Amino acid sequence: MTEMPTISVTELVTAFKEVIENTLPPVCVQAEVSNCKRSAAGHYYLTLKDETSEIGAVVWKGTASRLKFQLKDGLKVLATGALQVYVARGTCQFVINHLQPDGVGELELAFRQLRQKLEAEGLFDADRKRPLPRIPRQVALITSPTSAAVKDMIQVMTRRWPSVKIVILPVPVQGEGAAIRIAKALRFVGNMPGVDVVITGRGGGSLEDLWAFNEEVVARAIADCPIPVVSAVGHEIDVSIADLVADRRALTPSEAGELVVPSVDEFRQYLQNTAARMQRVLRDRVDRLRLQLQAIESRNVLRRPMSLVDERRQKCDELSERAERAIRLKVERLGQKIATIAGTLDALSPLKVLSRGYSLTMMDDASVISAVDQVSPGIEIQTQIADGTIWSTVTDVQVAVANQPSV
C-alpha cells in the first residue's frame, strides 16, 4: 500500500481555499436574504437561500455604503460575488460585491422602502403642511445656480411680482454628495433673516438624476425646516420623496415660481374688486341708515316733542291722585283699627270696673291689697273708687270663714 502524505489542517484548508477561489469564477446568485445582521463596523452578514440550500454571505462596508435600498430578511436579490474560504475557521462564504433587488430596480425599491418608512412616521400627513405666505418678501432658491430651472423660476417670479427679493443657495442637484449639500442648505436657510419661503428642486431627468431628492437626509431636512418649503423636482410625472414631505409640491420649477408669489396684475384686479365691493357695501349701509333716519324723523314724537312731555305730565298727575286716594284709604282703615283697639282697651280698663261700684284698696306704697294678712290694725290704707280716693286707718282685721267674704 502506497504511503499517503501527511499535511496540517492549515495546509488542507489553504488547499481548499485555492481550489475553491481559483476554480469558481465570480457569479450572480438568485436567492432570498435571511438572518441579515449589520455589525458595528458597518458590514452585513446574511444567509442566501433557495428552496433546498443556503450559504453564508457577507457584504463589506464599502459595498454596503453604496446600496440605495435597505437590506432585510425576505428580500429577493441578485447577488454578484465569489466564494471565499476563511482559513482560520475553515468555512466558506459568499462575498457580495454587487447587490440588486430581483424583479424590481434598485432605486425603485429604495424609493418604496423610504416612502413606507417616512409615511409611517407621519412626515407626509396633511395636517403638518404649512400654508405659503400670500406675499413673500424674500424667496430662497436651493438649486443649481447654472441650471435652466433656476432661470425659469427667477424669470417667472420677477415677472409676476417685480419687488420680490430672491436669494440663491447654490448646491449640486445630482451626483455623489448632492443630497448632503441640499440638506445642509435647507438647515442653513432656516437661520437666514427675512426669508419667507424656500424652493428646492431641479429640472427633469432620469430617476438616477433626480435621486438626490429621494434621499432620507433631504426629506428630514425639509421636514425640520422652520420655513415653508416648496418642492419642484422634475416634471409632472416625476414624484419624489421631497415632493411628499414638502409643504407644497410644484409640478415644475416654473410652477413653483407661480405658487410662491402672486401676479401683480391679478393682485391689482383683486384690490380693485375689493374696493368695488367695499363701495357697494358702504353705499348699501348708507342707504339703510338713511331709511332708518327717515323713519325716525316721521315719528310723531319728533314732529311734536312737547306731546310726549304733556303725556308724561298727565301721567304724573294721575299717579299723584291715585297715591292720595290710596293714602286716605289707608289712613281711614288705620283709624278704624285704632278705634276698635281703643274700645277693647277701654272695656278692659280698671276705671271702667270701678264705675260699676267696685273699689281698689292699696297700701300707702300703692301696692294692691289682695289678702288680709297684708294688713294689720293701725296702718293706713287708701281705697280707690270711681270718683276719688278714700284714706282710712285699719282698726281690725277679720278672716273670712268658709270662703265667705268678711263683713
Residue 176, Cβ neighbours under 10 Å: how many?
8
Query: Are 283 and 312 in a shared domain?
Result: no
Q: Could you give the number of structural domains in the chain?
A: 5
141 shares a domain with 25: no
pLDDT in the model for residue 188: 96
Residue 32 lies in a domain: yes
- CATH code for the domain in which residue 152 is found: 3.40.50.10550
What size, in residues, is the chain?
A: 407
Residues 229 and 309 in one domain: no
pLDDT per position as a tens digit, 141-159:
999 999 999 999 999 999 9
Q: CA-to-CA distance for 55 and 92, rounded, in angstroms?
A: 8
Cα 79 to Cα 38, 73, 110, 299, 403, distances in angstroms: 17, 14, 16, 99, 146
CA–CA distance, 213 with 243 (Å, rounded to integer) = 8
Q: Are residues 201 and 144 in the same domain?
A: yes
pLDDT confidence of residue 72: 86
- Integer Cα distance of 324 and 327 in angstroms: 5
Residue type, position 238, single letter: D
Question: Is residue 76 in a domain?
Answer: yes
Torsion on CA atoms 342, 346, 347, 351, rounded to nearest 10: 170
Which grid cell is 263?
401676479
Q: What is the pLDDT of residue 58?
A: 92
Average pLDDT over every residue of 344-367: 76
Contacts of 398 (CB under 8 A, 6+ apart): 372, 406, 407
CATH number of residue 55's parent domain: 2.40.50.140
Pair 199, 222 in one domain: yes
Query: Looking at the domain assignment, is residue 195 inside a domain?
Result: yes
Question: How many of the other CB atoms lie within 10 Å of CB of 247?
Answer: 19
Same domain, 51 and 70: yes
281-312, pLDDT tens digit by residue? 999 999 999 888 888 777 776 666 777 777 88
In a domain, 3, yes or no: no
114 domain-assigned: no
Answer whether residue 404 is part of any domain.
no
- For residues 343-357, average pLDDT: 73
Q: What is the CA radius of gyration of the chain?
A: 59
> Domain residues for 216?
136-262
Strands laid side by side in the 360-363 sheet: 360-363, 380-385, 388-393
Alpha carbon of residue 118 to chain centroid: 23
Q: What confidence tens digit (pLDDT) does each residue in 103-115 have?
A: 777 788 888 889 9
What H or E segment, with its residue span, contains residue 304? none
Mean pLDDT of the chain: 87
> Can you give the pLDDT at residue 2?
62
Are 150 and 243 within one domain?
Answer: yes
Q: Are residues 99 and 142 in the same domain?
A: no
161 belongs to a structural domain: yes
* Whether residue 171 is found in the same domain as residue 249: yes
Give the tens place of pLDDT for each residue, 362-397: 887 778 887 888 888 888 888 888 788 888 888 888
Q: Are residues 54 and 145 in the same domain?
A: no
Whether residue 2 lies inside any domain: the answer is: no
54-97: per-residue pLDDT in tens? 899 999 999 998 888 888 888 888 899 998 888 888 888 999 99
The pLDDT assigned to 160 comes to 93
Side chain identity at residue 113, one-letter code: Q
Beta bridge partners of 360: 384
Grid cell of 374 as nine digits: 297684708
